[in-house]
Chains A and B, each alone.
Chain A
């Protein structure tokens, strides 16, 4: 991977890394206030944003907004397998080793998140659900995985990958 350029301009609105950290801060506030339903939703966003920050740092070319593009680079018809939510995002990364240009580096950092499959029962649609239907007992697993994601981002930041 070549080194990232200095201060890109103009600044695109999507920045997954600070978004991941912001969601974490807010999730912890909600968790401490026992607002578990939305805390749980945010822990999922932490992981989603953290992983997307990593794959872009590992060579996935972002669109003009700074996000994962709508379609795969080699085909305008096929939807980009990384422009999805959890838990599909994690399974698509595991299923297709060609998705990330610098797969070796991505693997190294994903190894810092051994609990990433804790989100198997997390859904983006939970935001529409009745509170008593949510798998809220999973929140501790989600929280643990979100913390690993943040530690991974801290490591990548020190290493100059982010």
Chain B
């Protein structure tokens, strides 16, 4: 069995002592920032990028991946104990998880959340292993034409799945594409919109934009709201759920995992979509929907499984096609390129140790989270007592140093400052910055493939429709856009995305 050979090879990389160490460091940092509201995995990974420069590629990717899924675990702890989502992905866990905590079942809620996440993580690891090989084989047949159509599909999916207005998100994609065009044009050597700044000739760095718009702008907006944070001050006990609890939670866990795995693969699928959809599904399937919102255990198990499965399967487009499914995966691409590895379909053949090592490490990391997380609950709770007035200046400082450290350039710090101001404007006028980031990252690839496709077809635009795979992909784009315009689906989407 090739599948098991691959997984075993990966496992042998993942259980090397130093990689186990990196995995542990990653999931611990991830849980910590997941627990803390107001700092997410994007600024953290951006901050740690310079650290990974001297590491081996496998170790670096294992650690960064650990931060990502570790944050999903941590976010739900805060959601259950404080009723504040530590991460956007754990917003729904607040609904029933916190109710369970108030009924004295905090331990059960935490345990079910952890077990669901572990179960989903295990299944998702197998899903990645199963899908990666055929997808990578398919991707090797891709020419510039198919790549262009795939990138368009990814960008449109980002719009469809984003919160808020479709027109606004589409505009943000184009704004991101424009930013991505900054720099010296590869084929002609002409400087485009560089303002004569030498730092811009290689293009705009992704990290200062992400840190400014996600990290700093969020902090400013957070400070405007009145602070309110209360920890459930009961002792967390009964960490082992009863058999009846498990039996009630298990079907929801399975459904959440399937839903999350499917939604995670979609490019542009944000962190919020899988748990929201799973919650809606569980509520619809329940015999007595009125229990939801009052501590229904399925309302914790389903979304938690969905969010963890989605977090992991969002690695599939990155590993097989070299296309990031979301802003976080774009950072992962940055990390790979810093290591001198060009992401794309060839990565599976050329770097099997790395790819399968990272995949296997996800399962190892999930196991670590299950084992270490529950006993460490006390530590995470005490971290929540660090007041925000101390936390945010520290984040501001680390954002500054981290942005500077990526290229040792003060220009990037100024760029981050500008992006923070623009990000604040975006929050005020109600637009999401995520589509912009995706546009910025995919922009250069989009232009490159578009140019090459046009060169091959001698300027004939119909080539995108006459090649079957490309036509299929663009058909999906058209379908998604048409669906967005139809009023019935528009209404249902608003219901689904409404909190």
* B and A form one assembly: no
A positions within 8 Å CB-CB of B: none
B positions within 8 Å CB-CB of A: none
